[in-house]
Amino acid sequence: MRWHRRNLRGSPVACAAALAAIDTLRTLDLARAARRIGEVTLTRLLSLQAEHPGIGDMGGRGAMMAIELVRPGTLEPDPESTRRITRACHQAGVMVLSCGTFDNVIRLLPPLVIYAALLDDGLGVLATAVDDVLA
């Protein structure tokens, strides 16, 4: 594809949308919100991991976190437990995603504007599902 000068101009609407998004990021201090969500979530996930040997690796960055489910005492992926946990969360009204090469990872990505109480409720639903499935 050959580029012409006319292809290098920005769309005024796209530029306005980008500037508005940057303004929202700054105004709501969403970078700090992501760090806070990550700290709260990681604390809860570490507690779950200490209780359940079926939780392998976990981590993430900011608000996007993930937990890997394995068969206890091994590194073997456990996609069935992952499906059961995600199904229990969905039935309780909490959206989590399963992902990973072996479909044994649960990914969390709450909105950056989530209220602390709602984040706590969602993590509680996840903890209950993990307790029920991995107990």
25-38 pLDDT, tens digit per residue, is 999 999 999 999 99
* Position 76, amino acid: E
Write down the pTM of the prediction.
Answer: 0.85
Q: 29-134 falls under which CATH superfamily?
A: Aspartate Aminotransferase, domain 1 (3.90.1150.10)
How would you classify the pairing of strands 55-61 and 105-108? Answer: unpaired
Judge whether 123 and 44 are in contact, CB under 8 Å.
Answer: yes
DSSP string, 20-75: HHHHHHHHTTHHHHHHHHHHHHHHHHHHHHHH-TTEEEEEEETTEEEEEEB-TTS-
The model's pLDDT over 3-14, given as tens digits with 9 standing for 90+, comes to 555 555 678 888
